[in-house]
Structures are given as C-alpha cells and as structure tokens.
Amino acid sequence: MKKISFKNKDGLTLRGFVYGPLFSGDTAILFLHGFPGHCSGTGQRFCRALSCFGYLTMSFDFSGTDTSDGKFSEKRMSKEVDDIKYAIDFLEKKYFFKKLFLIGISTGAIDAALYAHSDKRITGVVLLSGVADLKRGVHYDFNDEQIALFKKKKYIIYDRPGKWYHGKKLKKAFYDEFFVLDVIKLLKKYKKPLLIVHGSKDEAVPIFEAKDLYKTANEPKKLVVISGADHQFSSLWHGLRVLFTLVAFIRKN
C-alpha cells in the first residue's frame, strides 16, 4: 500500500492509496467509495484483496471527504463525478496499464454510472449496491427529518459519534442533485462491459434498483445477486463471493 495525492479541477488535493504491483501487470482498478463513507472503508478491503490477484488498485477520498481537501458542506455528486477524471489522469500518468476497470459502491456506483460513458479509457464498469432512480434514492440517504431540515434550514448537521463526518454540516445543494442528475439517461450511453452486483438483504438500497439498472443497460451486461448479503457485503463469505465475481468479470474482459 502506498499513499498518493493529486489535484482535481478546482486545485484541491485529493488523497488515497494504491495497492498491488506498481510496475507490472496490464490491469488497473479504480474503486469509488460511497457517501458519506471514505476510501479507508469497504474500498480498502476490496482493493487489498484485488491487489492479491496482481491488479494495480487505487482508491481515494472525493473532495470534501475525510483526508482530501474541500468542505464537506459543499459536497455534490456532480463534483465527485468530476473528480473521477482527475483520478484516472493520475493513474495514467504515474502507472502502466492497458485495461482500466471502474468499480463503485453505493453513491460511488452512482458516480461511476454517471461518468463511465464519457471516458474511452475505461474497459469495464462494476456497480455495487447501486441506485437507478435518484428520486427514490434520496430517501435511502436521508430520512424524513433530514429532508424536512433541508427544506427549512437549507442544511443538516450529522450526529454520528465516532464517524469522521460527525458534527459536519451538509448543504441542501447535495440533496437537490437527486432531482437533477439522471443515472438511467447516462448509463444508456455506456456501451462497454458492465457488471451489477447487489445483496439480496441490502438494508439501504432495495434489490429492484439493481434490476432497473440491468434493464436499462446495454449489452454486454451481467447482474449478480449475492444471497443474504447486506449493503456493504460485510460478512467474510459475502465479501469473498463479490471478490471472485469481480475477478471473473475482469479476467473475461
């Protein structure tokens, strides 16, 4: 594991890690974390595991997240989508690869679906625990009380002791993007290999979101439902199921 940093379009420094072979191999993987998570969570777990198969893997904190520059209050999904390009630019400049796979989980999967069609460098995309309809998705990220506060005060403050975002303010502009960004429209523009993975017991995002993503997507595509898995595929067995599914997808493409 090696610490890395690079600048985004606003000149903010984004920080993360690379894992695996730094000077050999032909496949790189960029892993996108969820909201309000960070790259040291589920992403780190999968990046470490994937690096054991000889892949160069990278994860980073989006702007406004934990170790990266920027204000949490100013976070937007559209800004996260912009950050992806600069992460790939960094990978391309610093490391050798012939194939590049983009893997996103939860909101990271939303970001991946919004971005993938725009970058020819991407070989394949994986959406873990993703969302098809953001108008529904807003209710997965925010409860009724938080939505009411967004409408009344134009911001919320997180009360999550022990989490890196405890006590941080998030402005209503993040909430507003759920009604503007269109995952389905942009996913229809993506025409390369796609893998969709979802847990049957996902407590945060219903399984029908994965089925709607699959229904929308172009071929070649595959939907894998991990029986009994939660939103983060947190059990060892479910994590291994996802890992071997990812490796099979990467090897095939």
> What is the residue-level pLDDT of the chain in tens, covering all 253 positions?
899 999 999 999 999 999 987 555 799 999 999 999 999 989 999 999 999 999 999 999 999 999 999 999 999 999 999 999 999 999 999 998 999 999 999 999 999 999 999 999 999 999 999 999 999 999 999 999 999 999 999 999 999 999 999 999 999 999 999 999 999 999 999 999 999 999 999 999 999 999 999 999 999 999 999 999 999 999 999 999 999 999 999 999 9
List phi, psi (to 5°) of 6.
-155, 165
Instruction: Please tell me the distance from the alpha carbon of residue 73 to that of residue 172, in angstroms, as a whole number.
Output: 9
Tell me the angle at which helices 236-252 and 42-51 cross, rounded to the nearest 10 degrees. 50
Contact 72, 65 (CB under 8 A): yes
Vertex 242: Cα angle to 239 and 248 (nearest 5): 140
DSSP designation for 35:
S
Q: How far apart are the first and last CA of the chain?
A: 26
CB atoms within 10 A of CB 151: 10
The CATH architecture annotation of domain 2-134+182-252 reads 3-Layer(aba) Sandwich (3.40)
Please name which of 50, 55, 1 lies closest in space to residue 26, comparing C-alpha atoms: 55
List phi, psi (to 5°) of 224.
-125, 125
Q: Can you give the pTM of this predicted structure?
A: 0.97
List phi, psi (to 5°) of 19.
-135, 155
Instruction: Please tell me the distance from the alpha carbon of residue 13 to that of residue 186, in angstroms, as a whole number.
Output: 28
